Structure formats: structure tokens, C-alpha cells
Amino acid sequence: MNPWQGPIEQLDDYRFKIPKSYMNEMRVPGLIYANVEMMEHIKNDSTPIQIANVACLPGIIKYSIAMPDIHWGYGFSIGGVGATEIDKGGIISPGGVGSDINCGVRLLRTNLSLSDIEDKLPALVNGLFRNIPAGVGSHGAIKLSPKDTADVLHTGTKWAVSHGYGIPEDILYTEEHGQLPFANPEQISQRALERGHNQLGTLGSGNHFLEIQVIDRVFDPKIAAIFGLKEQQITIMIHTGSRGLGYQVCEDYLRSMGDASRKYGIYLPDRQLACAPVDSPEGKGYLGAMACAANYAWANRQCIMHLTRRTFEQILGLSEKEIGIQLVYDVAHNIAKIEKHMVNGKETTLCVHRKGATRAFPAGHPDIPERYKDAGQPVIVPGDMGRASYVLVGTQLGMDEAFGTACHGAGRIMSRTRAIKEAKGRSITRELADKGIIVRSSGKETLAEEMPEAYKDVNVVVNILHQAGIAKKVAKIRPLGVVKG
Amino acid sequence: MVMDNTLDITPTPNPKRFDSFEHTADMGIIAYGSTREEAFANIACGMFALLAESDNITLKKSINIEASGYNYDELLVNFLSELLYHCSTKGMLFNKVAILELTPTLIKAKAYGEKYTSSKHQLRQEIKTVTYHQLKIEDTGCGWEIRVIFDV
């Protein structure tokens, strides 16, 4: 990949701009949240060209935005945000969502502290590894009849809770209550259904994980208390998405969007940015299908949460109430949403693409749970399996500047192949064990691919957003036990 | 038979069927062939080598594959996606592909392999989708080369 040769203007310590003049077709400038050191890496990764390409899409407003965990992706970069104005021919693009539709993460709090589980940690990790299918093509936790599949696609988390995989409260603490209303199962291909019928309640492979963690540090005690978090408390994090069903929806629509782009005469600087106006039949078709996959992903994380609750009860021999596993929040970080934002002093309906980026609404926003109204929306940022994860909170500045969006993780820095090479002759399991982290994985090469050095330092990534005022740090969480696919 | 004493400059195609290469977060395959058809067949086998250890895939079963597209690029992506579909829903692993017909908009092929068995096959990684990024189908002058990057 060629290093970026184009112009970058530094606006302040944490903001960099790609001017509109870089390419004739750019409709808006690019805006990157980073620091000087990270910017050098971003330039070498040639992601700025992807940010500029997104800035060419019809209807895009303000900026084509990149979060500090940005790295190269298909069409949009991972960590890319693009909002289009629907009334002005704004488009929707599967390349702005990604192949794992509604890949996301949920954070669970418990009544337990580190001293309560230290001895039982190996048993807990083994129990989770046994009870929650993980790995390439994992399936089998919950089998769906065709009627159930349709219901899952329509109602997401609600289906899971009404079938005993959770409690009504879980719905309240899920983004969109775990159900995008515009889901249209008629837009889902038979193939996508086939791929989805036996994968609910499975983790999958790659960077997906389930982690037992402990809160290492609280930065904002007031907001942490509102989120029900305190130091030394045990938390659990679940990171997965819509599995094969979502991949198939992406593939189906990347194909049809190629035709749609030609039909609407849309200039595509990259075929992976194939798109259609949100208001066109093709755009509505994708939106309806994407919503189905998103709902499936929320049901998936909900079912895994249920299996986690049962596993903790089984291993610890305590009641559900004693363990007290409750959902802090569930966020989607590969999704396109129809949202209202203020644009030039006017409320405007936008299609906000967040690909490897997390919604981060501020205090007082109507779409966040009542309990969090005075604090803002929790933003869950998983790091790599050896360092840390974070809980942030959305801010008004982030709302005004970045359509209420923050980063989604640490961001890859090393190719999978290079990570495997670098890990040759090493035992990642032992290295993590030396740090007090127990890890179990089903794939032979997963641990090498996912080793901590393969990622940017999450501490640096979240500090950039904190300093820029786009989201604020609430708590830092340390991994104790990790289940990988 | 009249012998021609000009130098034989017939290019020698790469004897390997395919190689893998790395790409930021993902993986790519470069496949070779003396004809476009052969390169199409080899890229398919290369994709399955990314998915699983492909040395011990026995050619027990064959499946007819058909795909269409607006041009060769789309055709290739749709063809590989079709093979992936048989893998992800029916558990099929392929290690040989015969191209029966190839036009710029239509491909017909027969793929040979067997069903995945956990005791026999080692899966390497999941391929989410086949991408258009830096996709190349070209006649290099010494054979055909196809480059495809996979979202893994």
C-alpha cells in the first residue's frame, strides 16, 4: 500500500483535516481524530484515501469522519463515519456498515468483586468455553424454526427475552431496545436465512470474544455510579455480531448495489462503496435487510448473555440474584441508522453510517435509557485481550461535531499474517497467563492473530477522544479470562 | 515436418496454482493459470486453502456451480461467493474446480471436494465476504493472474 501523499491540515492537537480540494469529486472535507504520532501511522496505512473516497458520496454532509482507531477497511475504513442527508438524495452503502452487520459489544455488571471469583476463574472460563459455541462456523446453541427466524429478524432482543433468554430489563439497556423498527424480512434472501437458522447464541471467530474482567480504575465516580460501576467489580463483555446471516446480507446487497449505482449514475471511487439513495427502492431494500441482520445480532448477544448467566450460576453455585448479572449497555458498532441531527441550526434527518464506530449520545438525549439521562450514553470500547477495555460516555461536543459518535475499539495495526509470523515460537497463552489472564480459544491461529501487539494501544485511542472532548473516560477495565473463537 | 529454428519464446506459466499474500487486516490469494479458465479454477482452490488445510480434502462429491455478472470482475466475485455459500451452509470443502463455460457474464463450473468433518479437517479461518478491493484479472504475457482479497 502506498503512503498518503495528499494534504493533511492539523487543526489542533487531536484534529486533522483532509481539504476538499484534494479531489474534485469530494463534496465535504475529511476529519480525522488522532495525535501526531498516530497520524504518521494512518498515512502509511493509506486510509486517508478511503476517507476522501467516502467524502465523494451523494448527500454526505459536514465531514467524512475517522475515529482514532481507524484502519483500512473495504469501502469505508474501519473507524469511519459518514452521514448523508436523506432529503437531498443521500445514499446508504453496505460498504459503510461492513460485512458483520451490527457487530457490537455489551457490558454486563455483577455483584461480584475480584476476591469472590479469583479461585474459580479457570472453571468459569472453561464453563463459558463449553457452553457458548465459538470458532469458525460455530453453530448449535439455539436452533430456529422458520417462524422463529422471522420473529427474530422482526423483533431482535424482544424475541430472545420472550423465549426465556433474558429479562425485560435487558431490553431497556440495549441500543434501539434491540430492535430496529424498519426490519423487512422479505428483503432477506433464502441463503441468508439458511446461514442464520442455527447460529443464534454463537460467538463466531476472529476478533469476537467473551471476557471476564475487573474494573481497574474509575475516572468519573459520579457517572460510573449511575452506570452501576465501581473499582474491583467484576464485569463481563460480549463482542459478536450477526454471524453468517449478516455476511450474506452484505454480499447480496453489495451485488445489487453495483447495479443500483449504475442506474442512478453515482460516481464510485471504489466499487466497495456501491450504494443507492436511501429513498430509492434499492436503498429501502438494503435498509430493511440490514435492520433484520441488526436485530438478529442483538438477539444473538442477548442469548449469549443468557448462557453466561446460567454458566456463572452453575460454576459459582450462587443464585441469579446473588451474582446479579445486569446489562450496563449494548452498542452496535457496524450499522447505519436513521437519526435526527441539527445541521446548520435545523433539525435534519440523516442516514448515519458507523463502521467500526459507536453511537455516543450525550446526556438528555431522548434515545438513551431513563437511568442514564443525566449522564449520557455508555460507550463500550473493547481493547485487545492483554491490555484494557474502556467505558466512555457521550458528550454534547461529540453530538455536534461527530453525529454523536466515538471509537469502537483499539484498531488493528498488524495484518493477521504478520501477527502469525511474529507469534511463531511463542506461546501467547503463556504470555497472557504471566499477566494473570486465562485464555481459551477454539481456532489454532486465533490467539496469534489476536495478540495484543496486533492492535493499537487502546489507552492512546481513548485518550485522544477524551482530550478532544468527543467522549469522556468513565472507567478502565482489565481482562481476567478470555474466550476466543 | 519443417523445423523452425527461431527461439522458442512461448512463456512458461507459473507452475504453482496459487500463493497467499497479506493485506492489512485481511488475506489475499494470487492464482495463476495458462488460461483465464485455469486461473478462475485455481483462485477457487486458493480460497479454500485459506479456509481450511486443503491437502486432505478428498474429491468425493461434485457440485455444479453457476454464476453471472456484469463483467469479469463481478463474475469472479459472484462465482467465489457461490462456492462459499456451499461451504457455509452445506459444509462443503473443495479442492478441485473444472470450468465448463466462461463468458464475460456467465460461468458454469463443477467443484469437487467433500463435506467438512472435524476429525479430518482443520479449519483455519472464516471468510466473511469476497471483496472487489484491488481485484485483478490479467493476462501477464506469461499466463493469467488473478488477485482477490478476502474479508476474514
Enumerate helices (H) and strands (E) in chain B, giving the number of each.
2, 8
Chain B residues close to A101, C-beta within 8 Å: none
- Rounded CA-CA distance B135/B149 in Å is 7
Tell me, what's the pLDDT at A34?
98
Q: What is the pLDDT of residues A108-147, one digit of tens each?
A: 999 999 999 999 999 999 999 999 998 877 777 688 888 9
Does position A393 have pLDDT exceeding 60, yes or no? yes
Tell me, what's the pLDDT at A418?
85
Which of the two residues, B20 and A302, has the higher pLDDT score? Answer: A302
Q: What is the pLDDT of residues B98-134, one digit of tens each?
A: 999 999 999 999 999 999 998 899 888 888 889 998 8
Does position A358 have pLDDT exceeding 90, yes or no? yes
Q: State the average pLDDT over residues A212-241.
A: 98
Using the Cβ of A150 and the Cβ atoms of chain B, whether some distance falls under 8 Å is answered with no
Residue B16, C-beta contacts closer than 8 angstroms, at least 6 positions apart: B32
Q: Cβ separation of A444 and B124 shorter than 8 Å?
A: yes
- Rounded CA-CA distance A46/A1 in Å is 7
Q: Cβ separation of A135 and B123 shorter than 8 Å?
A: yes
Q: Cβ separation of A195 and B88 shorter than 8 Å?
A: yes
Consecutive H or E run containing A312 = helix A281-316
Tell me, what's the pLDDT at A245?
95
Does position B2 have pLDDT exceeding 60, yes or no? no
Chain B residues close to A244, C-beta within 8 Å: 88-89
Does position A28 have pLDDT exceeding 70, yes or no? yes
Nearest CA in chain B to A455: B25
**A257 close to A207: Cβ distance less than 8 angstroms:** no
Q: State the average pLDDT over residues A358-362.
A: 98
Interface test with A, best of B75, B151, B152 (most A CBs within 10 A): B151
| Beta strand segments in A225-291, E | 233-240, 276-277
Beta bridge partners of B26: B23
**A291 close to A240: Cβ distance less than 8 angstroms:** no
For helices A146-155 and A281-316, give the axis angle rounded to 10 degrees: 100
Share of chain A above pLDDT 70, in %: 100
Tell me, what's the pLDDT at A176?
98
CA A426, A429, A434 angle in degrees (round to 5)? 95
**A350 close to A90: Cβ distance less than 8 angstroms:** yes
Largest separation between any pair of C-alpha atoms in chain B: 59
Tell me, what's the pLDDT at A154?
96
Enumerate helices (H) and strands (E) in chain A, giving the number of each.
17, 19
Is A408 a known active-site residue? Answer: yes
Tell me, what's the pLDDT at A2?
74
Q: Which fold has domain B18-117+124-151?
A: Archease, Possible Chaperone; Chain: A; domain 1 (3.55.10)
- Rounded CA-CA distance A429/A412 in Å is 20
**A109 close to A233: Cβ distance less than 8 angstroms:** yes
- Chain B closest-CA separation from residue A362 CA (Å): 32
Mean pLDDT of chain A: 95
pTM metric for this prediction = 0.93
Please state the domain extents for chain B: 18-117+124-151
- Bridging pattern class, strands B18-23 and A78-85: unpaired
Among 3.50.30.60, 3.40.50.1580, 3.90.1860.10, 3.40.50.300, name the CATH number for the domain at A104-241+295-331+375-484. Answer: 3.90.1860.10
Using the Cβ of A263 and the Cβ atoms of chain B, whether some distance falls under 8 Å is answered with no
Nearest to A152 by CA among A178, A187, A189: A178
Binning pLDDT at 50, 70 and 90, where does residue B25 land?
low
**A416 close to A449: Cβ distance less than 8 angstroms:** yes
**A285 close to A253: Cβ distance less than 8 angstroms:** yes
Q: How many residues does chain A have?
A: 485
Residue B76 C-alpha cell reads as 469472479
Chain A residues close to B70, C-beta within 8 Å: 258-259, 262
Q: Cβ separation of B128 and A204 shorter than 8 Å?
A: no
> DSSP code of A298?
H
Chains A & B: contacts with CB separation below 8 Å? 92
Q: Which of B81, B126, B131 lies at the smallest CB-CB distance from A136?
A: B126
Residue A67, C-beta contacts closer than 8 angstroms, at least 6 positions apart: A33, A79, A80, A81, A356, A357, A405, A406, A407, A408, A465
Tell me, what's the pLDDT at A1?
61
> DSSP code of A45?
T
Q: What are the C-alpha distances in Å from A317 to residues A125, A401, B67?
A: 15, 48, 55
Tell me, what's the pLDDT at A216?
97
Q: Cβ separation of B27 and A412 shorter than 8 Å?
A: no
Residue A186 C-alpha cell reads as 422479505
Please state the domain extents for chain A: 104-241+295-331+375-484
Most confident residue range from A215-229, B53-67, B110-124: A215-229
Q: State the average pLDDT over residues B50-67.
A: 92
Using the Cβ of A243 and the Cβ atoms of chain B, whether some distance falls under 8 Å is answered with no
Q: For this complex, say whether ipTM is above 0.90.
A: no
Beta bridge partners of A245: none
Does position B6 have pLDDT exceeding 60, yes or no? no
Query: Residue written as cell 512463456?
Result: B11
Interface test with B, best of A45, A74, A449 (most B CBs within 10 A): A74
Q: State the average pLDDT over residues A68-75.
A: 92
Tell me, what's the pLDDT at B26?
76
Nearest to A13 by CA among A460, A356, A475: A460
Chain B residues close to A140, C-beta within 8 Å: none
Nearest CA in chain B to A450: B25
Nearest CA in chain A to B74: A255
Chain A residues close to B88, C-beta within 8 Å: 137, 195, 244, 247
Backbone angles phi, psi at A330, to 5 degrees: -125, 125
Does position B35 have pLDDT exceeding 80, yes or no? yes
Chain B residues close to A135, C-beta within 8 Å: 123
Chain B residues close to A251, C-beta within 8 Å: 81, 129-130
Give the active site residue among A208, A306, A408, A466: A408
Q: What is the pLDDT of residues A306-341, one digit of tens each?
A: 999 999 999 999 999 999 999 999 999 999 999 999
Does position B82 have pLDDT exceeding 60, yes or no? yes
- Chain A closest-CA separation from residue B136 CA (Å): 13
Does position B9 have pLDDT exceeding 70, yes or no? no
Amino acid at A180: L
Tell me, what's the pLDDT at B14?
62
Using the Cβ of A41 and the Cβ atoms of chain B, whether some distance falls under 8 Å is answered with no
